[in-house]
């Protein structure tokens, strides 16, 4: 028996900081390894942990990075380009807050910021190839999301134009990744134009069903939307190439629902929780992913509004390990099996030649 799903792994973005052991790759990799993680998902924008520009051009640097990880007992699962991907497509309504994701030199210059983001995505594709990785995780950005709710009434063609433009920006990058043998796994996420199954289908159609356009599946975002996250796997499993393990809960009241009244996370009806503290059916998720042959990593993403990151990380590795299924190589009723022939089969059905 063998486990198709690899893990446990951990996304480092929410843990990286200026204090040890979270401020360097050797220290944070060792921290993760000591907690029982076997893989780390690396935020490619965080120079404290990873030099994306160097990794894109230097096999020696990539070998050094892999060696550091090996010493800690972990491997890199994927590079994350969430922040850079967000900047590939930014509605002007978000210019000010999203400028914080970009270098000082391109802030207040949307076209320069976008060009920088596109180049970053390409560098991540090059770096992934040198590191021997076949998937990156990212965001697609948002041009239409400010118009999610149709009031005032949306002008005819607005959404069509938004997705046409989104595809225009991403399809050349998908081609670039295809040449390097790397998938783009987009996190289906509110705030992005691609936030559920239907919008993913709209995007996929616009990029001509590009083989590198895949999904970073995270059930927590579907709980907050009240979307059937298990049925989502049934529908889109062939496009899922990355997996975030994050818990969430939705507790509507007579005062708030999905939109949660502009409240801080702690007071929202829908909020993210540490693994096991929310409502996500992880047994169902791991069963379906095993059923459909998912063979990549299960990666903890911690964003709990109550529990500390240290406790969430410590509890996350055994939680994921417990849910990974050792896939059987035999059927439960093999003991009752037997050989037969066509004549016997026809006899069983009363078919007379």
DSSP string covering 7-28: EEEEE-TTT--SSTTSSSHHHH
pLDDT tier at 56 (50, 70, 90 boundaries)?
Answer: very high
pLDDT tier at 352 (50, 70, 90 boundaries)?
Answer: confident
User: What are 282-333's pLDDT values in tens digits?
Assistant: 999 999 999 999 999 999 999 999 999 999 999 999 999 999 999 988 777 7
DSSP secondary structure string for all residues of 51-66: -HHHHHH-HHHHHHHH
- Supply the pLDDT for residue 46: 98
How high is the mean pLDDT of the chain? 96
User: What are 240-287's pLDDT values in tens digits?
Assistant: 999 999 999 999 999 999 999 999 999 999 999 999 999 999 999 999
User: What are 175-186's pLDDT values in tens digits?
Assistant: 999 999 999 999
Average pLDDT over residues 146-156: 96
Return the CA Rg of the chain. 22
- Supply the pLDDT for residue 1: 55
Q: How would you write 160-223 as a 3-class SS string?
A: HHHHHHHHHHHHHHHHHHHHHCCEEEEECCECECCCCHHHHHHHHHHCCCCCCEEEEECHHHHH
For the chain, give the number of residues: 353
Average pLDDT over residues 139-165: 97
Give dist(CA 220, CA 307) in Å, integer: 16
Euclidean distance between the first and final Cα of the chain, in Å? 43
CA 289, chain centre distance (Å)? 14
- Supply the pLDDT for residue 273: 98
Residue 112, classified by CB atoms within 10 Å of its CB into exposed (0-12), middle (13-18) or buried (19+), is: middle
- Supply the pLDDT for residue 167: 98
pLDDT tier at 334 (50, 70, 90 boundaries)?
Answer: confident
Which pTM value belongs to this model? 0.95
- Supply the pLDDT for residue 279: 98
- Supply the pLDDT for residue 329: 81
Residue 149, classified by CB atoms within 10 Å of its CB into exposed (0-12), middle (13-18) or buried (19+), is: exposed
Hey, where are the domains in the chain? 2-348
User: What are 192-242's pLDDT values in tens digits?
Assistant: 999 999 999 999 999 999 999 999 999 999 999 999 999 999 999 999 999
- Supply the pLDDT for residue 332: 72
pLDDT tier at 2 (50, 70, 90 boundaries)?
Answer: low
CATH class of 2-348: alpha beta
User: What are 86-128's pLDDT values in tens digits?
Assistant: 999 999 999 999 999 999 999 999 999 999 999 999 999 999 9
């Amino acid at each position: 028996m063998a486990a198709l799903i690899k893990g446990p792994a951990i996304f480092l973005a929410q843990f990286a900081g200026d204090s040890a052991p979270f401020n360097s790759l050797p220290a944070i990799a060792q921290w993760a390894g000591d907690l029982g993680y076997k893989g780390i998902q690396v935020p490619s924008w965080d120079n404290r942990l990873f030099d994306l520009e160097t990794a894109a051009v230097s096999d020696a640097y990539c070998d050094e990075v892999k060696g550091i990880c090996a010493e800690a007992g972990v491997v890199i699962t994927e590079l994350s380009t969430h922040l850079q991907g967000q900047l590939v497509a930014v509605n002007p309504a978000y210019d000010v807050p999203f400028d914080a994701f970009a270098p000082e030199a391109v802030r207040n210059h949307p076209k320069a910021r976008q060009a920088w983001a596109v180049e970053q995505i390409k560098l991540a594709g090059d770096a992934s190839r040198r590191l021997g990785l076949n998937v990156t995780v990212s965001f697609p950005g948002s041009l239409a999301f400010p118009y999610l709710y149709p009031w005032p009434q949306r002008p005819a063609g607005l959404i069509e134009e938004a997705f046409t433009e989104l595809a225009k920006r991403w399809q050349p990058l998908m081609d670039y990744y295809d040449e390097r043998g790397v998938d783009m796994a987009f996190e289906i996420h509110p705030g992005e134009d691609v936030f559920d199954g239907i919008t993913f289908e709209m995007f996929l159609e616009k990029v001509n069903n590009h083989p590198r356009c895949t999904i970073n599946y995270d059930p927590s975002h579907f709980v907050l939307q009240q979307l059937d996250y298990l049925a989502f796997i049934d529908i889109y499993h062939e496009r899922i190439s990355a997996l975030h393990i994050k818990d969430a809960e939705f507790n509507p009241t007579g005062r708030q629902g999905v939109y949660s009244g502009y409240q801080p996370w702690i007071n929202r009806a829908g909020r993210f929780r540490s693994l096991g503290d929310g409502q996500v059916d992880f047994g169902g998720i791991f069963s379906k992913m095993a059923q459909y042959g998912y063979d990549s990593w299960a990666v903890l993403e911690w964003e709990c509004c109550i529990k500390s990151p240290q406790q969430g990380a410590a509890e996350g590795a055994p939680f994921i390990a417990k849910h990974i299924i050792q896939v059987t190589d035999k059927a439960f009723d093999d003991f009752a099996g037997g050989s037969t022939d066509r004549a016997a089969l026809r006899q069983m059905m009363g078919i007379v030649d």
